[in-house]
């Protein structure tokens, strides 16, 4: 199957193919126009009779998001502030930066399409009662728009099917901090182990996880372990960032713990692909996948189209992040992982329709892990060959996992 790159896709759309080498260090001033229009779009979606204005804002928001993604280098912006870092080993930040600019455009698209204004609820409603809407004033609209920019899951908002989780978390900031430290240590320990036992992965130039010098059984055993490790790294990274936001929201803004329910639910326990992606894996981008992919394609093609649309948007989003690394894209390895994940969900539905049995239990768990890890190896290989695994996610002096493992192995702190 031929590889489709981002420049190829842009050529089909008659857009100029960007050259990552021509990017300049990111500055706050470069993002100011995009964030100003993004915030204005968030204000307008709270006000009645603004749909025409919201639609009119889409072209400039799309243009500014695209320009910010392809002309600004987030990693070089970080280097300008922390010059001790190796610029070739912090390109991982560009992966997240490009995805973030695309999410801004997709959220603006969703807000332009909604027929009725969003409403924020004041508090958790009493049993059996409807939630009470927050009164709309000039000041509340400005404040709620700022909250909407940071709210990816619809907690406390009318646009969510479940604005208030059925069970509020009983955690405390101390427990969240403890979980943050634990997961940060696990993340860094796994990253260090991968780089220590496969030194070629610890290079900015990258290398394949499928080592041709190894016999087939050993080669694929090693690649499977690397894929599992990479999955845990992604899981812990997202949770660490979320927990940091939770602590900031509660300690600085006085938000309740109920505003920060768990982001994921032990994805390694999933007993089907639908269970894995629909509930257990982090739901941070769920809304944009539904609004920009599942909803429009589902209206045309039904339930199968909704699945294809959601995973299709995810595929494009993650492959665009690859472009941010500055070393080319590989759609059928990275985006293809999400496409085959969607295909797996459709296969589960087909199986349930034919056999009258849902995919679940031990067999469902084995199927889910085999499908996810098997196809995931191709994506992790693309990441590794472009140096993502060799990135410095943390400064060398701030690596808790590495310090712990070295201390355990040598009996002294590094």
Q: Do 271 and 316 belong to one domain?
A: yes
The secondary structure of 249-317 as a DSSP string is HHHHH---GGGS--S---GGG-SSHHHIIIIIS--TTHHHHIIIIIHHHHHHH-HHHHHHHHHHHHHHH
Q: What does the alpha-carbon distance between residue 322 and residue 96 come to, in Å, rounded to a whole number?
A: 9
Backbone Cα Rg of the chain: 22
Q: Is 3 within a domain?
A: no
Q: Do 124 and 207 belong to one domain?
A: no
Q: Do 39 and 103 belong to one domain?
A: yes
Query: Which among 286, 278, 293 is positioned nearest to 113, based on CA atoms?
Result: 293
Q: Is 122 within a domain?
A: yes
In terms of phi and psi (left: phi > 0; alpha: psi -120 to 50; beta: otherwise), the region of 93 is: alpha
Given 160, 184, 219, which residue is the final one in a domain?
160
Q: Do 130 and 200 belong to one domain?
A: no
Q: Do 330 and 301 belong to one domain?
A: yes
Q: Is 84 within a domain?
A: yes
Q: Is 5 within a domain?
A: no
Q: Is 2 within a domain?
A: no
**Half-sphere exposure at residue 91, Cβ-oriented, CA atoms within 13 angstroms:** 24
Q: Do 178 and 151 belong to one domain?
A: no
Beta-bridge partner residues of 133: 121
* Contact of 45 with 39, CB cutoff 8 Å: no
Task: For strands 72-73 and 24-25, give the pairing.
Answer: parallel
pTM > 0.85: yes
Q: Do 299 and 373 belong to one domain?
A: yes
Q: Is 9 within a domain?
A: no
Q: Do 150 and 187 belong to one domain?
A: no
Q: Do 22 and 54 belong to one domain?
A: yes
Query: Which among 173, 153, 172 is positioned nearest to 164, based on CA atoms?
Result: 153
In terms of phi and psi (left: phi > 0; alpha: psi -120 to 50; beta: otherwise), the region of 14 is: left
Q: Do 149 and 175 belong to one domain?
A: no
* Contact of 3 with 319, CB cutoff 8 Å: no
Q: Do 136 and 263 belong to one domain?
A: no
Q: Do 366 and 295 belong to one domain?
A: yes
Tally of domains in the chain: 2
Q: Is 331 exposed, middle or buried (0-12, 13-18, 19+ CB in 10 A)?
A: buried
The secondary structure of 206-259 as a DSSP string is ---SS-TTS-HHHHHHHHHHHHHHHHHHHHHHHHHHHHHHHHHHHHHH---GGG
Contacts of 130 (CB under 8 A, 6+ apart): none
Given 160, 180, 208, which residue is the final one in a domain?
160
Q: Is 269 within a domain?
A: yes
- For the chain, residues with pLDDT lower than 50 are 1, 12-14
Given 160, 182, 198, which residue is the final one in a domain?
160
Q: What is the pLDDT of residue 249?
A: 87
Q: What is the pLDDT of residue 256?
A: 79
* Contact of 371 with 203, CB cutoff 8 Å: no
**Domain range spanning residue 135?**
17-160
Q: Is 150 within a domain?
A: yes
* Contact of 331 with 4, CB cutoff 8 Å: yes
């Amino acid at each position: 199957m031929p590889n489709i790159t981002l420049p190829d896709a842009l050529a089909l759309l008659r857009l100029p193919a960007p050259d990552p080498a021509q990017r300049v260090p990111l500055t706050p001033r470069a993002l100011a126009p995009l964030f100003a229009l993004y915030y204005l779009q968030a204000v307008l979606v709270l006000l009645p009779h603004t749909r025409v204005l919201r639609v009119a804002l889409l072209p400039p928001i799309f243009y500014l998001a695209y320009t910010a993604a392809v002309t600004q280098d987030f990693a070089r912006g970080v280097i300008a502030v922390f010059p001790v870092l190796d610029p070739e080993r912090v390109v991982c930040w560009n992966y997240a930066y490009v995805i973030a600019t695309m999410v801004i455009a997709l959220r603006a698209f969703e807000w332009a399409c909604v027929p009725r204004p969003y409403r924020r609820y004041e508090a958790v409603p009493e049993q059996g009662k409807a939630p009470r809407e927050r009164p709309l004033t000039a000041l509340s609209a400005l404040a709620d728009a700022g909250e909407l920019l940071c709210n990816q899951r619809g907690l406390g908002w009318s646009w969510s099917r479940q604005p208030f989780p059925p069970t509020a978390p009983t955690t405390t900031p101390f427990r969240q901090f403890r979980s943050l430290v634990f997961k940060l240590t696990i993340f860094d320990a796994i990253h260090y182990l991968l780089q220590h036992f496969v030194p070629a992965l610890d290079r900015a130039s990258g290398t394949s996880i499928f080592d041709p010098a190894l016999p087939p059984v050993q080669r694929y055993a090693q690649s499977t372990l690397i894929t599992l490790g990479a999955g845990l790294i992604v899981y812990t990274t997202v949770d660490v960032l979320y927990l940091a936001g939770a602590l900031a929201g509660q300690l600085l803004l006085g938000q309740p713990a109920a505003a920060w329910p768990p982001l994921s639910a032990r994805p390694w326990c999933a007993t089907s692909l639908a269970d894995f992606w629909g509930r257990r894996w982090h739901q941070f981008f769920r809304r944009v996948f539904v609004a920009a992919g599942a909803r429009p394609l589902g209206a045309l093609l039904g339930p199968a189209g909704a699945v294809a649309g959601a995973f299709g948007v995810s595929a494009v989003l993650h492959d665009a992040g690859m472009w941010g690394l500055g070393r080319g894209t590989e759609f059928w390895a990275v985006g293809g992982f999400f496409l085959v994940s969607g295909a797996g969900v459709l296969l589960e539905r087909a199986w349930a329709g034919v056999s009258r049995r849902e995919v679940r239990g031990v067999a469902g768990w084995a199927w889910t892990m085999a499908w996810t890890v098997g196809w995931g190896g191709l994506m992790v290989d693309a990441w590794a060959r472009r140096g993502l695994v060799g990135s410095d996610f943390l400064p060398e002096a701030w690596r808790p996992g590495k310090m712990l493992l070295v201390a355990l192995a040598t009996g002294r702190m590094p």
